[in-house]
C-alpha cells in the first residue's frame, strides 16, 4: 500500500503547461515581479515601510530615525530584487483555480508529495512554505523585522559615520531576513486559495536564470528539477480539469506513465462546473 503524503500540493496549469513540466522534468519558478498579481510583493514592502515610519515618529532628525528612513529607501530600490516563485495550493479541486489558472476546457493540476517537494526544493536553494493571509500576523512580523533591523544597524553605526550611507552599505542582513517572509504575504481576500510558495532569492548572474515568452514581454524564470522519472518522484497524482470530453482526456493521460512516475495515478475533477 502506498503511504499517503502528509500534505499534497497542487499546481494548476494548462495542458501545454503540464506537458512542459513533465517532459522537461522541471517546474518553472517565475521572477515575482512578472507574476499575475504584480502588487503582491509591493504589499509586503508597503507594510515594512509603514513599520519603519512608525519607528521614526517623534524622532525627526536623530540618527535612529535616519537609519529607519534609509532602510525604507533600500526597500524601495530593492523592489526589483531577484525573487523567483512557483505556486501551489492545498485545494485539489478548486473551482476558482480551474477558472483562474487554466484555459477553458484545457486545465490540469499536478499533485505533489509535499515532503518530497520540500526536500527537492531545499537541495536547489528554494524554500517551500504556506502563504500568510492574516493581516495581524503580517503586521506583527514586519514590525518586529523593522525594529530588529534598525536596532542592529544602529548598534553597528560607528561614531561620526553617516547613518544613511551606513545603512545602504550594511543592509544585506536586514534584506536577507526580509525576503524570508515577504514573498509569502498575500491579501486575505485570496485565503481560499490555500497557497504555498516555493521561493529562492537569486543573484542576477545565476546561470540557472532563463527567459521565456510572455504575452507582452520576456519573463525571467528558473527551472526547478523535479526528478519525476525516479522512484523518489514527488508527483503524487495528476487531475484532469473540466472538459467536454472527460473520457478522451483520461485516455490520453494514460500515456503520462511513459514520461513520469505518477505514484497515485490519474483522476479527474468531480465539480459540476461547465465552461464549454
pLDDT digits (tens, 9 = 90+) for 192-243: 999 999 999 998 899 999 999 988 999 999 999 999 999 999 999 999 999 9
Q: What is the pTM of this model?
A: 0.90
What does the pLDDT read at residue 79?
A: 60
pLDDT digits (tens, 9 = 90+) for 121-152: 999 999 999 999 999 999 999 999 999 999 99
Going from N- to C-terminal start, the domains of the chain cover 8-268
Percent of the chain with pLDDT over 70: 95
| pLDDT(40) > 80 | no
Three state DSSP letters for the chain: CCCCCCCEEEEEEEHHHHHHHHHHCEEEEEEHHHCCCCCHHHHHHHHHHHHHHHHHCCCCCCHHHHHHHHHHHHHHHCCCCCEEEEEEECCCCCHHHHHHHCCCCCEEEEEEEHHHHHHHHHHCCCEEEECECCHHHHHHHHHHHHHHHHHHHHHCCCCCCCHHHHHHHHCHHHHHHHHHHHHHECCHHHHHHCEEEEEEECCCCCCCCEEEECCCCEEEEEEEECCCCCCCCCEEEEEECCCCCHHHHHHHHHHHHHCCCCCCCEEECCCCCCCC
Amino acid at each position: 500500500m502506498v503511504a499517503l503524503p502528509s500534505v499534497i500540493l497542487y499546481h494548476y496549469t494548462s495542458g501545454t503547461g503540464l506537458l512542459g513540466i513533465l517532459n522537461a522534468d522541471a517546474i518553472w519558478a517565475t521572477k515575482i515581479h512578472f507574476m499575475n498579481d504584480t502588487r503582491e510583493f509591493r504589499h509586503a514592502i508597503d507594510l515594512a515601510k509603514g513599520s519603519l515610519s512608525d519607528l521614526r515618529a517623534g524622532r525627526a532628525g536623530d540618527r535612529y530615525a535616519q537609519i529607519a528612513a534609509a532602510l525604507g529607501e533600500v526597500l524601495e530600490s530593492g523592489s526589483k530584487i531577484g525573487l523567483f516563485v512557483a505556486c501551489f495550493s492545498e485545494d485539489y479541486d478548486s473551482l476558482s483555480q480551474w477558472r483562474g489558472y487554466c484555459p477553458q476546457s484545457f486545465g490540469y493540476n499536478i499533485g505533489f508529495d509535499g515532503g518530497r517537494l520540500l526536500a527537492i526544493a531545499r537541495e536547489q536553494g528554494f524554500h517551500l512554505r504556506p502563504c500568510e493571509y492574516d493581516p495581524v500576523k503580517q503586521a506583527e512580523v514586519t514590525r518586529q523585522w523593522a525594529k530588529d533591523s534598525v536596532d542592529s544597524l544602529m548598534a553597528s553605526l560607528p561614531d561620526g559615520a553617516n547613518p544613511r550611507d551606513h545603512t545602504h552599505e550594511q543592509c544585506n542582513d536586514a534584506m536577507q531576513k526580509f525576503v524570508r517572509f515577504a514573498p509569502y504575504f498575500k491579501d486575505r481576500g485570496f485565503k481560499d486559495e490555500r497557497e504555498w510558495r516555493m521561493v529562492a532569492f537569486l543573484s542576477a548572474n545565476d546561470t540557472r536564470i532563463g527567459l521565456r515568452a510572455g504575452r507582452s514581454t520576456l519573463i525571467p524564470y528558473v527551472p526547478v528539477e523535479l526528478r519525476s522519472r525516479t522512484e523518489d518522484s514527488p508527483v503524487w497524482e495528476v487531475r484532469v480539469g473540466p472538459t467536454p470530453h472527460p473520457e478522451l482526456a483520461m485516455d490520453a493521460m494514460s500515456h503520462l506513465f511513459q514520461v513520469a512516475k505518477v505514484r497515485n495515478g490519474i483522476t479527474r475533477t468531480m465539480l459540476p462546473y461547465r465552461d464549454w
